[in-house]
């Protein structure tokens, strides 16, 4: 009697049924075409892995992976039936709006690699400097178009150049910017050591999906099993590719050795890892809310109508089960348990990674010293991103659910609402400062407000930063400026007083000369008249009358002599009195500052003479004890004298330095002294006149146009310098011109 088969052997026999089914399906493999969006590279690594590792074959598919040529319309290839599947971008939304029935199957790249690369030059500092320049934009670069429009640069404001897909056009200056992938072109630019700058749409809040796997509505309707099998095999290949990039690079180099180097493929793989984000999101996952945000962004810039419907655009890999086929899949349910376990393990690991990322983000926000609050237009606090800040006035704790008017003074709340209103219209508002009372005094907080994209009513993120120290510093600077202005006004008043004194002295001098002229004219008339009468009497031999005339002449001459002596004594006293220094007028002066003030007042004279004034200061400390008005009088005369005896087009140089203690002064004494030299490039001083130029009213021949009088300027300047304890000397330069040298003692300072 034959042995009865056991249940175990029966189940073992049934286990072969799925494999027999798959073997029969493999015999009749379904031929399909995958149309890539560009040439073979690591960008499509998952599809190569699925093909080479037999994932497509196990799914009953014979896949032809076809690369694209420049100008090829990928969407038309798929909707026209020349390919069953394609690789596209977020611009699939625009294609669907244009009437092409495309269906997004899976998102491979979570963040788009699209960027705009510009030559790094001084005239291109930001994305706005692209306006008016030559830009190469490839077809279907709608994401970059949206980026430029959001930045206020429509395509009409750039010189669009047909894309050559060759970075040498950028390197050699045939274009100013190119659309590119952050995963590709930077490799060639870095190897060429070409400086460039990258502008990404993500900086403007445009964060589109990168590569998407898509098909047509007709393909999905007529071959749903094929679509699902192709999608699952492709995602399986992508998981392998991201976990084994070197192995896939070997596959690409073996099958397409003439495309790229292994080093290039490694660079591309490294760039795609942070864009795919396999560590955070399962490959292929599509978020309907994010597709909605992308559609709203397109609508914002006028490329899609508002509330563009997404019905039928997103593929659902897990539709309602077909009960007619339910029993067929029961046979493989036990095998699926293992897969479910693996998926559960993977999901657990993903959730753990997500939880770790949330904890890291929370720790980062906790470390931020500023207060970050999300609120609505009414000022209600909806969320607090940080729980503390450095301000002693406001803490983040307990703000959620409260209105800002509950804890802010009215003036501060008014400033905040003005910032919210400005951000609602412009998108952001920065730099408004509000004052808040606190236990340690008034605290100043700077507000930065940004409107969150989309949403009605509007939501805002408000960043508050304690800038009390900065405001105090600014106030101190204003006070210093005020003090400086007052000092300048005081100095101006001093100069005005000195000028008034000089004008008064000039008036006194005029009256004095008038009186002297009157007093001298009377005795002179007597001298002249009696001399003429005496001559006539002497001729007539009238000796008595002649003698009387000569006595009158002698008397007039004596009176003249007395008058002249009195005038000389008066002039000497007046001259010395003018140069006298009063203790009330003495102060510590920075000689360098005095020189600079003189140069400012003499600049107009120098400009009129077509001459240049130069100041060279090598003295680390140039403090003297003196009278500002007297020193300026002497210096301005000496500078004017140098300008007077110099030709147009020459320079008058003032050189200030300090003399070491062991160097002998010009007067034979030793000591630390400040030396100021006034150097001109004029005709010099005749050697025979060097000893006499400081005499009053000395007639000098030191001029190219004839003799000139030194008057009282040089003697008075010398007397002023000597009254300050210094010396004033003059000498000729070997190369032409003269040097007037002032040597003054350095003021004694307390320790």
Judgement on whether residues 461 and 509 belong to the same structural domain of the protein: no
Q: How far apart, in Å, do the first and last CA atoms of the chain sit?
A: 127
Residue 504 maps to a domain: yes
Residue 12 maps to a domain: no
Q: What is the CATH number of the domain that holds 707?
A: 3.30.565.10
Judgement on whether residues 230 and 174 belong to the same structural domain of the protein: no
**Structure tokens belonging to residue 666:** 């010009």
Judgement on whether residues 497 and 441 belong to the same structural domain of the protein: no
Judgement on whether residues 451 and 488 belong to the same structural domain of the protein: no
* Residue 180, strand partner residues: 115
Are 39 and 181 contacting, i.e. CB atoms less than 8 angstroms apart?
no
Q: What is the CATH number of the domain that holds 197?
A: 3.40.190.10
The pLDDT value given to residue 249: 92
Characterize 191-200 residue by residue with b for buried, 16 or more Cβ atoms within 10 angstroms of its Cβ, and e for exposed: eeebebbebb
Return d(Cα 345, Cα 352) in angstroms, integer: 10
Alpha helices in 609-698 (DSSP H): 628-644
The C-alpha angle with vertex 656 and arms to 655 and 661, in degrees rounded to 5, equals 130
Given 278, 297, 319, the domain boundary residue is 319
Are 123 and 100 contacting, i.e. CB atoms less than 8 angstroms apart?
no
**Structure tokens belonging to residue 196:** 């460039």
- Find the helix or strand (DSSP H, E) in which 482 lies: helix 468-539
Judgement on whether residues 274 and 380 belong to the same structural domain of the protein: no
The pLDDT value given to residue 663: 43
Counted domains in the chain: 5
**Structure tokens belonging to residue 17:** 């049924």
Nearest to 286 by CA among 79, 114, 109: 109
* Residue 66, strand partner residues: 35
Judgement on whether residues 138 and 272 belong to the same structural domain of the protein: no
Q: What is the CATH number of the domain that holds 547?
A: 1.10.287.130
Alpha helices in 368-463 (DSSP H): 410-426
The dihedral of CA 390, 391, 392, 394: what is its sign?
negative
The pLDDT value given to residue 10: 47
Are 463 and 369 contacting, i.e. CB atoms less than 8 angstroms apart?
no
The C-alpha angle with vertex 248 and arms to 246 and 252, in degrees rounded to 5, equals 115
Instruction: Kindly report, residue by residue over 467-505, the tens digit of the pLDDT.
Output: 888 888 888 888 888 888 888 888 778 777 777 766 766
**Cis check: omega of the bond before 457, within 30 degrees of 0:** yes
Q: pLDDT below 50 — which residues of the chain?
A: 1-2, 7, 10-11, 19-26, 323, 365, 390, 662-670, 703-709, 750-751
Give the C-alpha distances (Å, rounded to integers) separating 382 from 96, 396, 460, 461. Answer: 37, 12, 10, 10
**Structure tokens belonging to residue 209:** 């999906």
Alpha helices in 244-317 (DSSP H): 245-255, 262-276, 288-300
CA–centroid distance for 453 within its chain: 27
Return d(Cα 355, Cα 353) in angstroms, integer: 5
Range of the domain at 520: 473-578
Residue 348 maps to a domain: no
Are 612 and 606 contacting, i.e. CB atoms less than 8 angstroms apart?
yes
Q: What is the DSSP string of 112-180?
A: --EEEEEE--TT--SGGGGTTSEEE--TT-HHHHHHHHHTT--GGGSEEE-----THHHHTTS-SEEEE
Judgement on whether residues 94 and 121 belong to the same structural domain of the protein: no
The pLDDT value given to residue 515: 63
Residue 13 maps to a domain: no
Judgement on whether residues 527 and 556 belong to the same structural domain of the protein: yes
Return d(Cα 58, Cα 47) in angstroms, integer: 14
Judgement on whether residues 136 and 120 belong to the same structural domain of the protein: yes
Judgement on whether residues 717 and 634 belong to the same structural domain of the protein: yes
**Structure tokens belonging to residue 71:** 């100008």
Residue 344 maps to a domain: no
The backbone torsions φ and ψ at residue 195, rounded to the nearest 5 degrees and listed phi first, read -75, 130
Judgement on whether residues 398 and 305 belong to the same structural domain of the protein: no
Return d(Cα 552, Cα 545) in angstroms, integer: 11
Return d(Cα 614, Cα 596) in angstroms, integer: 10
Neighbours of 723 (CB within 10 A): 16
Given 466, 492, 514, the domain boundary residue is 466
Return d(Cα 712, Cα 579) in angstroms, integer: 12
Residue 462 maps to a domain: yes
CA dihedral 697→701→706→709, nearest 10 degrees, is -10
Characterize 492-520 residue by residue with b for buried, 16 or more Cβ atoms within 10 angstroms of its Cβ, and e for exposed: eeeeeebeeeeeeeeeeeeeeeeebeeee
Residue 136 maps to a domain: yes
The pLDDT value given to residue 144: 85
Given 578, 594, 616, the domain boundary residue is 578
Residue 132 maps to a domain: yes
Judgement on whether residues 668 and 526 belong to the same structural domain of the protein: no
Q: How far is it between the farthest Cα atoms of the chain?
A: 203
Instruction: Kindly report, residue by residue over 420-456, the tens digit of the pLDDT.
Output: 888 888 888 877 888 887 655 688 888 889 888 877 7
The backbone torsions φ and ψ at residue 629, rounded to the nearest 5 degrees and listed phi first, read -65, -45
């Amino acid at each position: 009697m034959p042995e009865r088969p056991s249940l175990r052997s029966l189940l073992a026999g049934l286990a072969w049924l799925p494999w027999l089914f798959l073997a029969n399906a493999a015999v009749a493999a379904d031929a399909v075409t995958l149309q890539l969006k560009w040439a073979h590279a690591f960008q499509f690594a998952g599809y190569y892995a699925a093909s080479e590792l037999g994932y497509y074959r196990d799914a009953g598919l014979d896949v032809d992976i076809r690369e694209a040529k420049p100008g090829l319309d990928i969407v038309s290839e798929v909707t026209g039936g020349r390919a069953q599947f394609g690789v596209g971008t977020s611009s699939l939304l625009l294609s669907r709006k244009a009437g092409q029935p495309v269906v997004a199957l899976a998102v491979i790249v979570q963040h788009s690699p699209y960027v705009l690369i510009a030559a790094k030059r001084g005239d291109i500092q930001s994305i706005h400097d692209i306006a008016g320049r030559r830009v190469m934009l490839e077809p279907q670069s709608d994401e970059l178009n949206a980026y430029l429009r959001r930045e206020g640069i429509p395509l009409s404001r750039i010189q669009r150049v047909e894309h050559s897909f060759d970075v040498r056009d950028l390197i050699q200056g045939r274009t100013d910017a190119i659309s590119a992938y952050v995963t590709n072109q930077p490799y060639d630019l870095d190897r060429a050591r070409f400086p460039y700058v990258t502008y990404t749409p993500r900086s403007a809040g445009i964060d589109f999906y990168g590569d998407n796997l898509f098909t047509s509505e007709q393909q999905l309707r007529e071959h749903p099993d094929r679509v699902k099998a192709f999608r699952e095999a492709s995602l399986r290949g992508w998981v392998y590719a991201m976990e084994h990039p070197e192995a896939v690079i070997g596959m690409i180099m073996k099958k397409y050795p003439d495309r790229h180097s292994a080093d290039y493929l490694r660079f591309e793989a490294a760039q795609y890892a942070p864009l795919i984000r396999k560590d955070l999101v399962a490959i292929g996952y599509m978020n309907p809310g994010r597709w909605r945000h992308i559609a709203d962004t397109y609508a914002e810039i006028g490329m899609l109508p508002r509330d563009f419907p997404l019905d039928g655009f997103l593929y659902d890999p897990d539709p309602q089960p077909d009960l007619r086929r339910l029993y067929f899949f029961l046979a493989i349910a036990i095998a699926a348990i293992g897969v479910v376990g693996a998926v559960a393990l993977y999901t657990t690991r993903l959730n753990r990674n997500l939880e770790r990322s949330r904890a890291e983000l929370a720790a980062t926000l906790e470390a931020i010293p500023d207060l970050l609050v999300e609120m609505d237009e009414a000022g209600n606090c909806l969320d607090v991103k940080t729980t503390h800040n450095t301000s002693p006035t406001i803490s983040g704790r307990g703000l959620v659910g409260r209105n800002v008017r509950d804890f802010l003074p009215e003036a501060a709340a008014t400033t905040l609402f003005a910032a919210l209103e400005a951000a609602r219209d412009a998108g952001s508002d920065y730099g408004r400062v509000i004052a808040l009372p606190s236990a340690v005094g008034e605290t100043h907080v700077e507000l930065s407000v940004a409107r969150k994209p989309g949403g009605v009513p509007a939501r805002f993120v408000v960043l508050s930063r304690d800038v009390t120290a900065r405001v105090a510093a600014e106030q101190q600077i204003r006070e210093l400026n005020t003090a400086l202005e007052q000092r300048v006004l005081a100095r101006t008043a001093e100069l005005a007083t000195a000028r008034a004194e000089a004008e008064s002295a000039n008036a006194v001098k005029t009256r004095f000369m008038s009186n002297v002229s009157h007093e001298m004219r009377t005795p002179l008339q007597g001298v002249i008249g009696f001399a003429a009468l005496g001559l006539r009497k002497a001729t007539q031999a009238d000796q008595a009358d002649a003698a009387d005339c000569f006595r009158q002449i002698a008397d007039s001459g004596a009176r003249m002599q007395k008058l002249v002596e009195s005038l000389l004594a008066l002039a000497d006293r007046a001259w010395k009195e003018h140069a006298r220094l009063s203790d009330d007028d003495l102060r510590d002066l920075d000689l360098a500052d005095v020189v600079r003030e003189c140069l400012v007042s003499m600049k107009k004279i120098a400009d009129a003479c077509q001459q240049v004034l130069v100041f060279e200061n090598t003295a680390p400390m140039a403090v003297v004890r003196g009278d500002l008005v007297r020193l300026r009088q002497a210096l301005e005369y000496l500078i004017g004298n140098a300008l007077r005896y110099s030709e147009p087009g020459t320079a008058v140089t003032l050189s200030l330095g300090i003399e070491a203690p062991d160097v002998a002064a010009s007067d034979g004494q030793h000591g630390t002294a400040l030396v100021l030299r006034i150097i001109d490039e004029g005709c010099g001083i005749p050697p025979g006149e060097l000893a006499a130029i400081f005499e009053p009213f000395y007639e000098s021949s030191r001029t190219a146009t004839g003799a000139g009088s030194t008057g009282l300027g040089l003697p008075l300047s010398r007397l002023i310098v000597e009254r300050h304890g210094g010396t004033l000397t003059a000498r000729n330069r070997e190369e032409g011109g003269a040097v007037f040298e002032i040597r003054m003692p350095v003021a004694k300072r307390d320790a």
